Amino acid sequence: MTPEDGLTRREFFKYLVVGGAGAVTVALAVPLTGYFLSPTWQKSKNPSIAIAHTDEIPVGIPTFIRFEERVPDGWLVNTQSAGVWIVTPDGTNFTLFDPHCTHLRCPYYWDSEKDLFQCPCHGGEFDIHGNVVGGPPPRPLDQWEFTIENGEIITSGKIIKG
């Protein structure tokens, strides 16, 4: 067989070496890459817990509720403190606001004199409905998904972006 007819023996062996090395590399690279990138597509699995009773939330006054939650953290389950602002205009409809400013995630507070949520970091201001009324925040306050069962406000902390 001449080179003009097709593969020489040497060329065939070259392809065998390169192909073999390539096959082993790909066979390993696929699972190793998937393994390494795994955290980017893992969904957080915070359990839903009851954090407050509807009776505890005064009408028209934003109330900060602190609670402890057990959160999976890798192979551990950690108990950590968390908090959320709960607002109700009528005792029937509720909104849970994530306690971090949508500008740069500073914790904000309720200013009862101004009747506004006030961020101490850069002067961001939100009304009782979570809408931006002053300062640099780019969007309204984020909210948490929740349900109410037998008067208990139950949430997993899953965020709905404002």
Partner 1 sequence: MADEKKGWLEERLEWKKPLEGFLYRPVPRKVGWLYTLGSATAVVFVIQVLTGLFLMFNYSPSPDHAYDSVNYIMTNVTFGALIRSIHFYTASAMVILILLHLARVFFMGAYKYPRETTWIVGVGLLLLVLGMSFTGYLLPWDQRAYWATNVATGIAGEVPLIGTWVQKLLIGGTEIGTVTLTRFFTFHVMVQPLLIAALIGAHVWMVVKNGISAPPGLMKLKLTQGKSEKQAYKEAYDASKQGGEKFFPDTLSRDAVVAVGIVAVIFILAIFFPHTSEAPADPTSTTYNPRPEWYFLFFFEFLKMFPGSLEPVAAVLVPAVAFLVLLGVPFLSKGVRREWGKRRLSLSIGGVVVVGLLIFEILGAVSAPSRQVSELTPLQIEGQRVYRQVNCAYCHTINGIGGAVGPDLSNIASQLTPDQIKAYLSNPNSMVPNTLHPKLQFTPEELDGLTAYLSTLGAAVSYTPEAPVLFEQHCSTCHMINGKGGTIGPDLSSVGSRRSATFLEAFISDPQSSVPGASMPAFHDTLTQNQITDLADYLYSLKGTTTTPTPTTTPTTTPTTTTPSAAAQLYTQDCAVCHGANRQGGIGPALTPGTLAGMSEAQIASVITQGSGPMPAFSALSASDVSSLVTYLKTVQP
Q: Rounded distance, CA 38 to CA 145, Å? A: 26
User: Segment contacting partner 1 (CB under 8 A): 39-47, 58-66, 107-115, 131-139?
Assistant: 39-47
Using the rule CB under 8 A, which residue among 1, 5, 10, 44 binds partner 1? 10
One-letter amino acid identity for 152?
E
CA dihedral sign, ordered 156, 157, 161, 162: positive
Distances (CA, A) of 118 to 81, 100, 106: 22, 11, 10
Which residues 70-109 are close enough to bind partner 1 by CB under 8 A? Answer: 70, 72, 74-77, 79
CB of 48 to partner 1, least distance (A): 10
Contact between 37 and partner 1 (CB under 8 A)?
A: yes
Using the rule CB under 8 A, which residue among 1, 6, 44, 45 binds partner 1? 45
User: Segment contacting partner 1 (CB under 8 A): 28-36, 97-105, 117-125, 127-135?
Assistant: 28-36
Place of tokens 């109330």: 63
One-letter amino acid identity for 158?
K
Q: Are 53 and 151 in contact (CB under 8 A)?
A: yes
Which is closer to partner 1, CB of 73 or CB of 90?
Answer: 73
